[in-house]
Amino acid sequence: MSVIKLVDLDLKGKRVFIRADLNVPVKDGKVTSDARITASMATINHCLKEGAKVMVTSHLGRPEEGNWTEENSLKPVADNIANRLGKPVRLIKDWVDGGFDVATGELVVLENCRINKGEKKNAEETAQKYAKLCDVFVMDAFGTAHRAEASTHGVAKYAPVACAGILLTEELEALTKALLSPARPMVAIVGGSKVSTKLTVLESLSEKVDQLVVGGGIANTFLKATGKNVGKSLCEDDLVPTAKTLMDKMAKRNASIPIAVDVVVGKRFDANEPAVLKDAGSVVDDEMIFDIGPRSAQELVDIIMKAGTVVWNGPVGVFEFDQFGAGTEKIARAIAETKAFTLAGGGDTIAAIQKYDIYNKVSYISTAGGAFLEFLEGKKLPAVEILEMRANESLRT
């Protein structure tokens, strides 16, 4: 990965424009989970310490273009950062055409970039206006690196210098380490409700990993492919042949997709639904599978403990309801204890990591969902590609 790194640049007195991922949940004007802000502070603090004039922007929620509303404002984010820095932070509302000054060593937050006309379509005119605001553009939002938008891609084309921030650099290095030269055996745990949304990831990983663990609704499609009844469980019947093909393909190279031998079922998706343990072969028509059973969980624990690399994306059961959370908890505890290099990413996965309090025991936690999956698929991320292009240009000049 050849990109210009922020830490290698002289920033003194420079106007620095950071695209961070500060898309955090907000309730009643307060940030309720600030993990993404925490992750972005390394880049912000570095720029301030180096004496730059610092601007940071992000998207928040799904605002309508050209329509500012209080619920999509970055004000709660600016307040959160101000508390961390111990000084006021200005929030600039109409910033695209400039007309504001930033002092050396000052940080300003530029209002939600997704409100700007031309942002989502990556309009040249919008990107050029962003680029005029800065001497250095810093891409630090790995979570949106898979989208080519004016603040993630277009601005990097036109800014005098375009580089990768500290968080983006760490993300790319951790993912590259896990995927390009992994310590073996390599295990991937992919959970989620649908095979269809993660089919390309499963196909790509099936060629790279020694064991591919499928969880959640995805696992039901694979269970059905082995001839088991899954009752009313979430299952994609049309993808049963695909599941069979993936299992056969991995078996041919002595790799495997472990299939549950016992499951935890209920009749309704409800917090008070009693959990019933069953052999995987004895699910009846009116039941739904909500978790893996203890024997299946133990098999996965043994796999994780022997692994050299573990990539985790998605829980293996409905862990939000405690009675259906044992499988995900067992996996989380094994990931915390294994000697393997562990890499976890995606919103539900981070929620499970927080619930079972293993945050400090995972080698690397990616703040991204979609970009994390696309990287696992081996896709080029547009925002990273443009940084590589700019780095190559600077080498030639």
Query: pLDDT tens-digit profile of 280-325?
Result: 999 999 999 999 999 999 999 999 999 999 999 999 999 999 999 9
Residue 98 is a catalytic residue: no
Torsion of CA 226, 250, 198, 365, to 10 degrees: 120
Residue 252 is a catalytic residue: no
pLDDT by residue (tens digit) across 233-286? 999 999 999 999 999 999 999 999 999 999 999 999 999 999 999 999 999 999
Q: Which two tokens stand for residue 372?
A: 């994390």
33 pLDDT tier (thresholds 50, 70, 90): confident
348 pLDDT tier (thresholds 50, 70, 90): confident
pLDDT of residue 1: 60
Residue 253 is a catalytic residue: no
Query: Contact, 340 vs 308, CB < 8 A?
Result: yes
> Is the backbone peptide bond immediately before 185 cis, with ω within 30 degrees of 0?
yes
Burial class (CB in 10 A: 0-12, 13-18, 19+), 101: exposed
Rounded CA gap, 265 and 41, in Å?
43
Residue 224 is a catalytic residue: no
Q: Which of 51, 105, 231, 370 is catalytic?
A: 370
Q: Which of 14, 15, 19, 36 is catalytic?
A: 36
Q: What is the reported pTM?
A: 0.82
Q: Which of 49, 117, 347, 380 is catalytic?
A: 347
By C-alpha distance, which of 384, 285, 354, 396 is closest to 3? 384
Q: Which residues pair with 212 in a beta bridge?
A: 188
Rounded CA gap, 326 and 303, in Å?
17
Query: Contact, 308 vs 184, CB < 8 A?
Result: yes
Q: Which of 194, 306, 333, 379 is catalytic?
A: 194
pLDDT by residue (tens digit) across 213-222? 999 889 999 9
| Residue 38 neighbours by CB under 8 Å, 6+ apart | none
pLDDT beyond 80 at 367: no
Degrees to nearest 5, angle at CA 47 with 41 and 50: 135
Integer CA distances (angstroms), 120 to 65, 70, 127, 209, in order: 8, 20, 11, 35
Query: Contact, 382 vs 146, CB < 8 A?
Result: yes
